[in-house]
Amino acid sequence: AEEVGGGDKEVVREYFNNSGFQRWKKIYGETDDVNKVQLDIRLGHSKTVENVMTMLTEEGSLEGVTVCDAGCGTGLLSIPLAKQGAIVSASDISAAMVAEAEKQAREALLSSDGSSLAPVMPKFTVSDLESLDGKYHTVVCLDVLIHYPQSKADAMIAHLASLADERLLLSFAPKTFYYDLLKRVGELFPGPSKATRAYLHAEADVERALQKVGWRIRKRGLVTTQFYFSKLVEAVPA
């Protein structure tokens, strides 16, 4: 079913501009109108963001460091990065997500008198990650690979690595036996708000894709809650 309806990317774009935007805006937000599953995912995801901030800052200050946040969603990573002084270029395939991220960043970083909590406001652009160019000290891509099969993910990883000078942080849903099983059970009993297809990635496959372009994994992290599974890796030039 990979290429049905113009391919995964068109399906993903359409989803995150419409029903997926509504669903994820709620999950990534702060309001109470979420169910137990959504709340669990919200908490799991915030843990991933926290882990990314720890991995990044333990290597030194982010002041003046250029960071590309590829597939930025509602800006949940871009905002703390900017607060720490990073020069953030954030982008997403979904125009709806980018508009929401801009709004969130203004609310979080600008006070009513117009002064800013961030030395540099993040710059937001609508773009799929495959079209990004330029060079950044750090590239981060969180919870995006889940929308693509490994055959596509390899090229995406290679492209993201080509944009990064020093490090690349990626998170993905790990293909472990247990989660694989859960997912299959999920497919047998699809829920009402079943989203797009979810693709799991074996850590070894992600590592191989990185190695192919001359990168090695330096740090690893994992967040698992009841409904949220995300493996985080930090890669550096080998």
Say how many CA atoms lie within 13 Å of 11 toward its Cβ.
14
Comparing CB distances to ligand SAM, the nearer of 113 and 133 is 133
Least separation in angstroms between residue 213's CB and ligand SAM is 18
**Beta bridge partners of residue 231, listed in sequence order:** 172, 222
In this complex, which beta carbon is closest to ligand SAM, that of residue 93 or of residue 118? 93
H or E element, residue 136: strand 136-141
- Which helix (H) or strand (E) element contains residue 66? strand 66-70
Cα–Cα distances in Å, from 152 out to 62, 157, 180, 199, 231?
31, 9, 19, 11, 18
Chain centroid to Cα 81, Å, comes to: 14
Closest distance of CB 96 from ligand SAM, Å: 8
Instruction: Please give the helix or strand (H or E) that residue 160 lies within, else none.
Output: helix 150-163
Q: Which is nearer to ligand SAM, 24 or 215 (CB)?
A: 24
Shortest distance, CB of residue 231 to ligand SAM, whole angstroms?
Answer: 13
The SS3 call for residue 72 is coil
Do residues 124 and 101 make contact, with C-beta atoms less than 8 angstroms apart? Answer: yes
Residue given tokens 């993040």 in the structure block: 122
CB-nearer residue toward ligand SAM: 21 or 215: 21
CB of 71 to ligand SAM, least distance (A): 3
- The nearer residue to ligand SAM, 11 or 65, going by C-beta atoms, is 11
Q: How far is the CB of 188 from ligand SAM (least distance, A)?
A: 23
Name the site residues for ligand SAM (rule: CB under 6 A). 9, 12, 16, 24, 28, 71-73, 76-77, 92-94, 97, 128-129, 142-144, 147
Using CB atoms, what's the residue nearest to ligand SAM?
73
